[in-house]
Structure formats: C-alpha cells, structure tokens
Structure 1
C-alpha cells in the first residue's frame, strides 16, 4: 500500500509538534527496540503521524532526526484507501490484542518509492489510544508487475478474500475487510442463505468456479454483491483454498428493481398496471381452478370524471385518481388483486368459493369508501363509480374475454344511472352493438338535420300555469325512430360533437322563442349548456352570434349548467358566467344536489334559478332532508327554486308544502315537439 511523504514534508501544526522532553521520554520507553536489525516505528493512527522510530526507520523515511520525522503530517495527502486500511487495523487491534498483519507497503519518502514487507501489530500509547507497531523488511528484487499487482490489490474497490477450506478468512484486502461485520466472519456466514451456500459449494466441487448474485450484510446495511469464487491453493501453506472476489452491484440492482417495478406498476397511483395484472390473473385463476373456486373481474369506472378534468384541470384529475386508488386499497380484504387499467378505470380480481356473496360485500365496501367527501384542488367532491362484473369461468376463461364482458357490463351500469354494479349477461353485447351503430350514424344525423327540439313546460306551483319552457333535444332516427338523449348525448360528448349540437339546439330554441313571443306567448326558454361547451374558448362569441341571428331578447333565454361546471378555477368560471349574464341571459343550476359542489359556492356566482334534482323529489319523506335545505337556501339567496321530475300528486303536494316556486314533470306534461307544444299553449296559455 502506498504512503507518500511530500518533499518538503508537510509539518504538523506547532501545537502538535512533539517537545524535546516528549521525544526523550519516547526514546527511553522504546530503547530496547532501537537495536533491532530492521526498521521499526510506532504509528499514531489517530494523529496521522509517527510516534517513534529507530535509527534504521529514520533512514527508510529519509529523516535526519526523530524530531523531524515525528513532526511530519502523514495525513495531509493520505489516500482514502490508506486511511480506511489503518482504521481497519485499529479496530482489529482493539478487538484482538494478539492481532497482527503482514502486508507489502510502498512508501514514498522524498518522492522515491521504497517497497517493504511490513508486520503490523497493536500498541497502546501512554494515553490509552491504540496505535500500530510497524516492523519492516526490504522486499528485495521484485518485478515491477508484481509490485503493481500488490498496489492494485490493496487499492481496488473489488473485495478480495482468500478462504481456507473450513471457511476461515486467510486474507482480506482493504475493500473486503470494510465489507464484513466482524474480522472473523467465515465464508458460510458471509453467505447466510443455506441454499445459496450449497449451490456455491456444489459448483466449486464440480466445476472449480462459481458465480452468484446475492444480498449480503455489511456495516453499511444490506448490499447486493456479485460474488465470484474459484478453487486454488494457499501460497503460504500450499493447502486448498477458495479465492473469492465480490463487486458491489447494489446501484445496478436497485436500478433494475426500479425499472422492473416501473414496468409493472402505474406511475401515478403505484397500483399494479396492465402487465402486472395480467401476470397475477394467470396465477390467480390457476389457483382458483385447482381449488374449485370461482373468480370475478370487476371493471370500475369513475362517474363524471371527465367533468373534473374539464373544469378543474388534469392535475386535479390526477389528484382524484390517487385518492381513489388509496380508497380502493382500503376497501380490499387483502386477497383481491387491484390494478389501474388506464384513464379513470380500475380492475379488481377476486376469487372465492361463494363469489356472488363476496362480490356484493366488496361492492358495498367500495361504495362506502368512495362516498365520503373528498377535497381536490380546494373543492369538495363526491365520487361514485359504475362497476361491470364478469364471472370466471362462465363469462370467459381468458382475461381478454372477461375484460370485454366486464366492459359491456360497466357501460350498462352507466346507462342505468351510474353509481351501481351490473353483472354481465349475453344480452349486453347486442346493446353495445346497437350503441356502436348509433355512434357511427351521429355525424350523418347532424348532416341530415335529424335532431329536433322538444319542449317541456315549467309550471307555477301556486297557479298551475306555465312560467317557462325547457328545450330538450331528441333524435328522430329514420329507421329506429325517436332515440333517447341518454343514448346519444354521451356519444356526442365522447366524439366531440356536443358543441355543434348544443349550438343548434340553442339556435332553434331562440328562434322559437321569437315566434312564440310574436303570437303573444313571451316565454322564457331554457337551454342546457354542457361542461364541454362551457370550456370552449369560443363560447361567448358563438352564443352572441346565435342570439343576434335569431333576434331574440337575451332576457327571455336561460342557460342551464350542471354543478360540475362550478368545479373550475373560480376566477375563470366566475368571469364566463358574468359575461353571459352581461349579455342579458339568466343562469339556472340543473340537477342540483347530485354533483360535486357545496352550498357555499352558490353565493359566488350569478345564479338565478336552482333546479332540484328529481331524485330528491321522488324519494321518501325520510330522505328529503337535503331538499329542505336546498329550498331554504333558495329562499335565503332569493333564487327561484324549481322541482324536477314531479310525476305524482303526492310529490306535487310535498313540493307545494315546501314553498317551492315552480315544478316540471310528467304530472303536468311530457316534452313535446314544437307543433304539439304550440297547440298546448293555445289551451294552456302562460301566466302574464
């Protein structure tokens, strides 16, 4: 090992220079060693300096006097490898008083290399600190390659150990010594895994060499090492031995583990991804088959997730997905496999001997877990999900077939009003084929102007006369007849056609308002505005153009928006709503109570009408407490409250009893095409 002393030699600070008295005391203490026939010195490991040296050692170090040598600062340019080796010696000397080591060192006094065979042993200084007694002998004529190989062995980061046949360490280089928990650690202790040690021993016995990668315990904690071993003979005794080299590959291993983890997990939620789920699926169904159990695949889709992305932004959408993933984790009982399939879709695989019972229990846990209010981007959200279920093996035996059928069931859950779970059945495929056919024909329907606006009256509760009318779009399909909006509106939204369709409905409704007003029926006409339309950059320009072209009085037009629109960044949403109000339009909040907003939001926005969702009107008295709160809020804020979906006299009586101003629903009239509605107006003229 190389130790250099620069020229001129670096000196210790003045306060650390030994005094003449101290040097004299040392000379007396070590007088017996002065006459040895080989260089001897005592090295202060902590102080990084020579404590004492005999005359022959002074010559080796090219020092004129003991004071000059003891005053040198040996640590000023000491390499990290040398410092580490000295610390190892010191530790071993403390543990074993009889410990000694023999190594070839190269000193560089005055910059000239001097190679020595040095025996090191522990020595206590008068103050109790452990130092090192060094006894040197010249190496003699040694080939340069040999000297350099010794230097490389001592300085390399590769851990080299020579073990005897019984596993005892005969030699460790500095790197190997730094990587063991104790100096006496044997090979079988190094490879603590019995199976790995047996494999190593077997390979050495049969082939003479062995290589394995394993985790080992080191003073720095558990590390991954690539260990290579070969049979050899000890150069000192000639007995069989094992030469082992170890390279620390922890960084590579951890990189591989991270890459493997990332390849099998979703980067946003940390859940297993498609690839991981597919692997787990194969094992799970194999186990289920072996144990005569059933399995089920659940496809979970968050309801109205697009509204969150469109209004609050994708960062908020990601935050919602992370929170949902955490809640779904908590809803498991530990045996189900949960994964994120993509977008806002999650998959669950469950195996059970009583699959239907456990599926219903899991659905209940998921519903409860998602039901609690969730704060996202400063907004309180209420999350629901639509779940499709495909059973194994009756609904399919491969993940592709089961996933396709679960997807069909999930869309059926959407069509049944969301927030529910639907089991796959064969009839769903026909439903989807019908929906696909409708989607293909939507663009043609716009070109052929097959969409028609129907109108449903909004009635004064006290006088039972018409106060306003809502425009509702219908599709008159040439072959299928009248198609429900529940079937084609979601398709229009997903295809990006809702903006074009929405403006056409607004245009027809505005022209009709003008026509009715000319006949003496100056009704307020209400038109729905989708969240996708609301986020359009050209919204104000488009609406202004439609109103101007129709020649309608904006004060007689009302725009109905959903609660999800209020999720957007406050200033932007407020700005758009104020500009719409500035045009003279009134704003109604549709289906209130089912979305994400909270009551405190309403006072920030220019809302004029609050339409209470039909689910509250059609519920039992015991579950109408929120409706009572909404009515009270409307009164307090001077908003017009409208009850939607009134279908029975009992419901109307309840509405009247709560002081709700207006209602609409089948009890009074269904939506009608324009000609039929015009005739209705002749018989039921609106109030003045």
Structure 2
C-alpha cells in the first residue's frame, strides 16, 4: 500500500521502499549503518548508537563513519566496498582479520578489538555488503556490527580452565526475516537460509514462517508483533521465555529450544520488532535469530560440573544435600523411610602414598562405579571428597532392606581391583542413619551416619553400623571429659605409661613409647583416645604436653643412669607442634634431665606436618638442632608423599598398627607393609612396626627386614615402675 505523505500526495514506490529500508534498519536490534556512493552516512540505527556510544546526529550526512572506531581517518569496510577495492586493500586495513562472507554474496566480515570503548574496550564482529541499483551499480554499502566481547571473554576463560569446553563458535551475519501485515514473508535473507535450512524461494510469499520451527501451525514472535497482541497472548506461546526488548519499543525477545530445525535441534535467541507505516500503524515485523546452542551446551556443562564430581561423575555434596532436603520433604508427606549411608574406604591413603595418586584415582573411579551399580534406580550416590561417599536411599521398605543394600555394597567394593598390573583389595566402612528415627533434617542424618561410620571403623573396618542413641550418649560424655580435664592436671590425675620397643632379632628392649593415662575419679582409667581430642580443641593439650615431655625426660634419665642406651618416645599433637614455645620446652627438659645415653624421640603424625610443609620443616630442623630424634607416626594413614617425606628430617617411620593387624587376612596388607619397609630403607630411615600381637606377625616382619617392633606380643603399656623392672630383665 502507498502511504499518503503529510500533504496528501502519495509517496512513490521508491520513496516507500526507502522508508521500508529505513524502518528495517532502524527496527533491527543489530547495530547497523548505511553509507551512499559518496561515503556519506545515511543510516545509523539506535543499536549502532548503543554499541558505539556515538549518536546518529554526529555521523549522518558526513563521511565520518570511521570516527567511532578509529583515532585517525581511514576507510571502514563499507568504504572499501563502495570503492570496489576491498579485495585489493583487505590486507592493508584488515590483515589476517577479514574474510569473504559464505552466506551473503559480495559481503565481507571481520572481527577486531576497539580498545577505546568504555569498560576496557570491545570486540566487534562486523559485516559489510554492497547496495546496488537496478542496473547492478554499487550505490552504497550496509555494515552490521555485533558486540562479541562477552563471547571473547568467555572463550578466554574457557581456555584457562582445564575441564572447560573449547572456544565459543565465532559469530556469523545475523539471520533475519520480514513479514507484512497479512503475515506473509517478504524477506528471508541468506543468513536465515544458512541457519534454518529453508531457502528464500520456499518461504517468501507464504505464511509458513512457523514451519522451520514448529511441527504444526502456530504464530511465531513476529506474528504476535504484527497482530499487536497483548503481553498475555505473548505469554501464552512463550511463557517464562520472553521479555520486552530494552532497545526497541514494541519489540519482544526470547530464548527457546527448537528440536525440529532442519540440520538438527538448536537453541535460538530471537527478537521481533514492529515495522510501522508513516501513520504509525504496524504494517509488518522483522525477526532476527541467533544460534546460541554452543552457549546453552556450555551452560549445561557448567551446571553439571557445579553439581557433580569431576573424577567420578557422581553427584557432589551440593547436589546430594539438595536431593536429601527434597527427599525428606517428600517422606514427611508420604510417611516413608529415608536411608542415608556414609561410606569411607579402608586404607585408601596407603595406595596414594605407595602407588601414587593416579592409582588412587583409578580405585576411586572403580569404587564409584561399583557403588552406583549396587543401589536402586532413584537412589542418589555422591562423592563427598577424597575416599568418602554418601548414598541417599529413597523410601526403602524397611531397615532390613537397607542392611541388604549395605551388605551388597561391602561385597562389591571389596572385590579386587587391578591397577597397573597389581591386584588391590580395598574394603569400606559404612555408617547408616534412617529418617525419621534418627533425625528429620539433612544435617542430623549426615552427622549421625558419619558417627556410625566411625563406629564401624572402630569395630574392625569392612563392616557397617546403624546409628544408635548410644552415640549421642558418647557426645554427652565428651562434655563431662572437657569439664573435668581442666582440673585433672592440678589434681595429679595423669600418669605416663610406657610400652616397650624391642629388637625383633634379639628381643632386647631398646626403647619405649610414653603413653598418657588419666585416672578419672569417677570414670576410672580414661584412654588418650577419649580425652586427647578434647584437650586439643580446648588448648589444654599445651600444659598437658609440657608435663608429658618433662616426665618422659625425667624417667629416661633414671633408666639410663647406669649408662644403658635407651630411646624414649612421646607423641606430639598438632596443636603442640605449632606452639611457638615447643622448641624451648624440649630444650629445657633435655637440659634438665638429659644424659648421653638417652635418646629423646618425638612422634608426629603425617597430617600434623602436612598442614603447612614449609613451617613444619623449619620447626623440625630446630628440634633436630637440639638433638631430638623424629619419628613419623601412623605412617600410611595421613597425607605424605615420597617427595614430601624426603623433605623432612625424620629418623624413623612407624608402620601403623592397622596394617599389622591386617597381615595374613587376605586384604593385601603384606604388600603394603613390604612397600613401607622398602621405602624406609631407600630413604635410609629406621622403621618400627606397632601393634605386633602374634608370632606370625613377628616372623613376617623379621623376614622382610623390619628390625624393631612394639605390641602386646612383648608387653602392653605399663606404669613406669613396671617398665623399669622389664628393662632390668631385658637381655
């Protein structure tokens, strides 16, 4: 239809065509400008103003299309197209950045960085194409821009992350189609053909704009804009996916997934803007499309990585706790059970230390697969970190069903795993808590299942325990211990016991480990396992540790007064080790009680020295300067690696009692002990086995070249007076 001009004279067809071109350029959210054959800017749309910060009034009518982009005058791509010299001059102005468009004949496209734009500069993707008259003469050029700064920065971030996708796919000219007021397609550009797969010949003149996107007829966004439908009508078709455009009045934009696109399903970001006649009436609409499938795939991967463990693919703690919360809410409505299992692998750290982290990762991955196969569909398996797993059992029929699942898990996890030609057997300890019996919150269930797991470990490993209220009673007892600890030292309630350390080949006592005992007035004899953790948390371990060091040195002096050579060992807790006054305390005790025949030995666990290796190395060196011997206690259960162990000035490593206990049990402990003895020999370190209780264990250690041991086979820890008598009877 030819629209009347202000004076009533109809516009000519060329005038109407020019107006349509203006409306299309002005209405598209794609930054666009047009120059004529004399390089004068004739169009500079709002989107171009937004991306460049340059108002249209500053450039329209001038030949300064270069000004918003460059500090000095030079042709933009559209200028080179108008002059017909782009092919010859492309390397001069766009060396290595420009290429011919694969979708629009005669067009060129490029990407470049413009540092002067606000916010640290912008990356722009730009495309220029010639405008010709009916005779094919170039009468101008159109250039479109796209801000790809976010894509470039995202691509850079991806390159810097080891588990990220490859760089985001570079952009292409914006796909676009136009419909008139009768909802017929009037324009369907080459870029639209490329992304959708239907040609202009198939689409122009039809009302089939829905066909590339949907399986049956329905309005596309442009149809809704032409019909001037209310937001409620837009919401009917794009509920939760749309929003008003921030750039164009009356325009809408949305993101949706289109599974029926030719060439495969796509995620598209699309915008529809109205085209108005001179009287302001909507006479058509332009819709632009952008393929954001790569971005959506990346977002899904990010979401997966945020909720899943990268090594095993299992749920992580965040996802597990979310599902636990949902399951508990559902169980309250349906009055069904919820089971929570906490799993910890037995002796996993030894594998890392002796075979390396790659072997440890293989064990974790294999174990994760076995756990996942052992549970039911609908249950959730998570890796909480290290060698810890958790399982959410949804609506198990009974406690017996839970016990059956646990039994299956223990059998499956304990099956041999082959790693680098070696057959490893890794058991697991499992704690279980049920809701509502053991708690109705996720935090309570996790805490109770964890407590039950530790009880299972105390019961011998490769077993399981259900949470009991007795475990809560133990927590109450802990409070009593904390209260009474504060007066125990003043009341002389502590005593130092000693467990002999012997030469395996001569049965001679060569040393002793000092072990603290507490004569509680009401609880009786309290073992260190019950009060040392409390003392550590409260800080009472510091005065208690000073007393132990002084007593050990004093008694050691008495036992070596006749010139007998003897080694006395005491344990250092983490808090003692990091006490700034430790070295002075040890120095003072040795100066007061030391003799040439007494070797004073401090035992530290792996975890104590691995928290801050640089600081630990400095402390250990200062202790060595005072003549103190250093032993790594419970070797194989902490965090050390071979390289880190060599960095510390240890004299001895102690083989943890758990490995000695597992000798000849079919769990592969022989290989572990043999490896530790070999490691100690290669590092020129002494080695002692603790927890030796049987002659068979002793004979194995002798055969493997272990020289020293301690354990019930020789003696339990005894009071100082009795140890003195044992010492006198020793060969």
TM-score by length of 2: 0.57
- Name the count of aligned residue pairs: 568
1:182 matched to 2:198: yes
Per-residue deviation, 1:215: 2.7
Per-residue deviation, 1:472: 0.5
Q: Does the 8 Å contact 2:414/2:425 carry over to 1?
A: no
545, 550, 555: which one aligns with 1:507: 550
Per-residue deviation, 1:496: 6.0
Residue 161 (structure 1) aligns with: 177
Work out the CA distance in 1 between the residues paired with 2:622 and 2:515: 24
SS in 1 for 2:691: coil
Per-residue deviation, 1:570: 9.1
1:488 matched to 2:531: yes
443, 456, 470: which one aligns with 1:413: 456
Residue 455 (structure 1) aligns with: 498
Match runs of 1:19-38 below 5 Å: none
1:359 matched to 2:406: yes
Q: Does the 8 Å contact 2:414/2:426 carry over to 1?
A: no
Q: 1:172 to 1:321 in 2, by over 3 A?
A: farther
30, 53, 73: which one aligns with 2:85: 73
SS in 2 for 1:506: helix
Work out the CA distance in 2 between the residues paired with 1:518 and 1:577: 28
Q: Does the 8 Å contact 1:408/1:429 carry over to 2?
A: no
Work out the CA distance in 1 between the residues paired with 2:311 and 2:696: 50
Work out the CA distance in 2 between the residues paired with 1:570 and 1:489: 24
SS in 2 for 1:509: helix
Work out the CA distance in 1 between the residues paired with 2:677 and 2:290: 74
Match runs of 1:289-308 below 5 Å: 295-300=338-343
Work out the CA distance in 1 between the residues paired with 2:360 and 2:484: 33
SS in 1 for 2:104: helix
Q: 1:83 to 1:636 in 2, by over 3 A?
A: closer
SS in 2 for 1:407: helix
Structure 2 segments unaligned to the other structure (5+ residues): 1-20, 22-33, 41-80, 108-127, 148-171, 242-254
Of 286-295 and 501-510, more deviation after overlay is shown by 286-295
718, 723, 730: which one aligns with 1:672: 718
Q: Does the 8 Å contact 2:349/2:638 carry over to 1?
A: no
Cα displacement string for residues 307-365 of structure 1 (whole angstroms, at most 9, x for unaligned residues):
999x9xxxx99x99988875664344364423455898643223466432222333444
Per-residue deviation, 1:580: 4.4
Per-residue deviation, 1:426: 2.9
Q: 1:280 to 1:324 in 2, by over 3 A?
A: farther
Work out the CA distance in 1 between the residues paired with 2:701 and 2:363: 37
Work out the CA distance in 2 between the residues paired with 1:529 and 1:410: 27
Q: 1:190 to 1:582 in 2, by over 3 A?
A: same
Q: Does the 8 Å contact 2:689/2:709 carry over to 1?
A: yes
Q: 1:167 to 1:7 in 2, by over 3 A?
A: closer
Cα displacement string for residues 479-513 of structure 1 (whole angstroms, at most 9, x for unaligned residues):
32221122233444555665554443222101221
1:276 matched to 2:319: yes
TM-score by length of 1: 0.60
Work out the CA distance in 1 between the residues paired with 2:308 and 2:645: 41
Q: Does the 8 Å contact 1:308/1:564 carry over to 2?
A: no
Q: Does the 8 Å contact 1:389/1:423 carry over to 2?
A: yes
SS in 2 for 1:470: strand
Per-residue deviation, 1:154: 13
459, 467, 471: which one aligns with 2:514: 471
Match runs of 1:186-201 below 5 Å: 186-192=208-214
Residue 347 (structure 1) aligns with: 390
Work out the CA distance in 1 between the residues paired with 2:331 and 2:324: 10
Match runs of 1:600-679 below 5 Å: 611-615=654-658, 618=661, 625-626=670-671, 642-647=688-693, 663-674=709-720, 676-677=721-722
SS in 2 for 1:190: coil
Q: 1:167 to 1:508 in 2, by over 3 A?
A: farther
Work out the CA distance in 2 between the residues paired with 1:331 and 1:195: 49
Q: 1:531 to 1:337 in 2, by over 3 A?
A: same
SS in 2 for 1:403: helix
Match runs of 1:516-595 below 5 Å: 516-518=559-561, 523-530=566-573, 533=576, 540-553=583-596, 555-562=598-605, 580-588=623-631, 590-591=633-634
Residue 52 (structure 2) aligns with: none
Work out the CA distance in 1 between the residues paired with 2:613 and 2:547: 28
Per-residue deviation, 1:514: 1.9
Work out the CA distance in 2 between the residues paired with 1:270 and 1:632: 36
For the aligned residue pairs, the C-alpha RMSD in angstroms reads 6.3
Work out the CA distance in 2 between the residues paired with 1:656 and 1:420: 31
Work out the CA distance in 2 between the residues paired with 1:471 and 1:303: 28
Work out the CA distance in 2 between the residues paired with 1:252 and 1:323: 32
Q: 1:6 to 1:73 in 2, by over 3 A?
A: farther
Cα displacement string for residues 262-300 of structure 1 (whole angstroms, at most 9, x for unaligned residues):
775679998645553243235557889999996521234
Q: 1:189 to 1:618 in 2, by over 3 A?
A: same
Q: 1:444 to 1:277 in 2, by over 3 A?
A: farther
Per-residue deviation, 1:171: 1.9
Larger Rg: 1
Cα displacement string for residues 74-116 of structure 1 (whole angstroms, at most 9, x for unaligned residues):
6789999x9999943579xxxxxxxxxxxxxx999xxxxxx99
Bigger fraction of residues in helix: 1
Per-residue deviation, 1:440: 5.3
Structure 1 segments unaligned to the other structure (5+ residues): 9-68, 92-105, 109-114, 120-132, 139-146, 374-380
Work out the CA distance in 1 between the residues paired with 2:674 and 2:290: 73
Per-residue deviation, 1:470: 1.8
SS in 1 for 2:602: strand
1:214 matched to 2:230: no
Q: 1:298 to 1:436 in 2, by over 3 A?
A: farther
